[in-house]
């Protein structure tokens, strides 16, 4: 584990991403989001696409968890789904690569085990983060990944409706209990209190995105509450 990655331990990592349907979709804007996060005290950035990462690096020297969201037809796996995306991130030397580590069918036809094993064989020196949805995913991912993340809990067909914060983060606690690798808390951590609780429960670090960098989503939450 390199020193850049080590510096994220016990800290807040801010996910700076915007999709094409969002008003803030722009590599320039994401770089400024990262700068704002840095000035606010964040110790790492999670970012999507090579061009966003390159622009972010012009503004901050924080370690970056890199992903590439790529949709292949109707395949549900889209977070760094194939070696094409992994290689693109490796070429720009991101500090960590995050991939979908769920057991769902992949666009390249590889099994999750085959995919993760190939990444570690090809790029053994790059830290690999497995975005998991449930404990069965974790059991597979921890054999190959350097970090386990709760990112996709509630976002797959077999965890639909689940919320990581339910019952004082019971799922996170279960993941930490069974994982042989450091666990990164991510997914619906939308308040400072929840972020602190994740760390207090033993998460290696905590990633927060929408609650900080997606004003459209933040506004929608306010509107939904007002209209109850």
Closest CA to 171 of 127, 128, 137: 137
Q: What is the dihedral of CA 70, 171, 104, 69, to 10 degrees?
A: 0
pLDDT tens digits, 199-220: 999 999 999 999 999 999 899 9
Tell me what pLDDT residue 1 has. Answer: 78
Rounded to 5 degrees, what angle do the CA atoms 46, 49, 55 make?
80
Question: Model's pTM, two decimal places?
Answer: 0.95
Tell me what pLDDT residue 3 has. Answer: 87
Tell me what pLDDT residue 80 has. Answer: 98
What residues form DSSP beta bridges with 208?
14
Tell me what pLDDT residue 131 has. Answer: 98
CATH number of the domain at 3-226, out of 3.40.630.10, 3.30.420.40, 1.10.3720.10, 3.20.20.70? Answer: 3.20.20.70
Tell me what pLDDT residue 30 has. Answer: 98
Q: Could you say which DSSP state residue 9 is in?
A: T
Note the maximum CA span of the chain: 52
Tell me what pLDDT residue 204 has. Answer: 98
Listed as ranges, residues in the chain with pLDDT below 50 are none
Q: Could you say which DSSP state residue 186 is in?
A: E
Tell me what pLDDT residue 9 has. Answer: 98
What is the rounded CA–CA span in Å between residue 187 and residue 153?
7
> 3-class DSSP state for residue 15?
strand
What is the rounded CA–CA span in Å between residue 182 and residue 9?
10
Closest CA to 52 of 3, 22, 15: 15
What is the rounded CA–CA span in Å between residue 207 and residue 201?
15
180-217 in b/e burial notation, b at 16+ Cβ within 10 A?
Answer: ebbbbbbbbbbeeebbebbbeeebbbbbbbbbbbbeee
Tell me what pLDDT residue 2 has. Answer: 86
């Amino acid at each position: 584990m390199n020193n850049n990655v080590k510096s994220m331990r016990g800290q807040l990592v801010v996910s700076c991403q915007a999709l094409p349907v969002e008003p803030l979709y722009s590599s320039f804007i994401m770089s400024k989001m990262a700068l704002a996060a840095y000035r606010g005290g964040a110790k790492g950035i999670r970012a999507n696409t090579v061009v966003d990462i390159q622009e972010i690096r012009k503004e901050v020297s924080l370690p970056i968890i890199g992903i590439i969201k790529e949709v292949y037809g109707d395949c549900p796996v889209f977070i760094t789904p194939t070696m094409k995306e992994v290689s693109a991130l490796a070429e720009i030397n991101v500090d960590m690569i995050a991939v979908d580590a769920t057991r769902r069918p992949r666009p390249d036809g590889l099994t999750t085990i085959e995919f993760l094993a190939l990444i570690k064989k090809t790029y053994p020196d790059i830290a690999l983060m497995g975005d998991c949805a449930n404990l069965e995913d974790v059991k597979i991912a921890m054999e190959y990944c350097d970090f386990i993340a709760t990112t996709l809990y509630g976002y797959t067909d077999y965890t639909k409706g689940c919320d990581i914060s339910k019952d004082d983060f019971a799922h996170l606690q279960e993941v930490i209990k069974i994982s042989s690798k450091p666990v990164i808390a991510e997914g619906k951590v939308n308040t400072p209190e929840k972020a602190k609780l994740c760390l207090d429960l033993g998460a290696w670090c905590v990633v927060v995105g929408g609650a900080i960098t997606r004003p459209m989503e933040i506004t929608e939450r306010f509107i939904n509450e007002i209209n109850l």
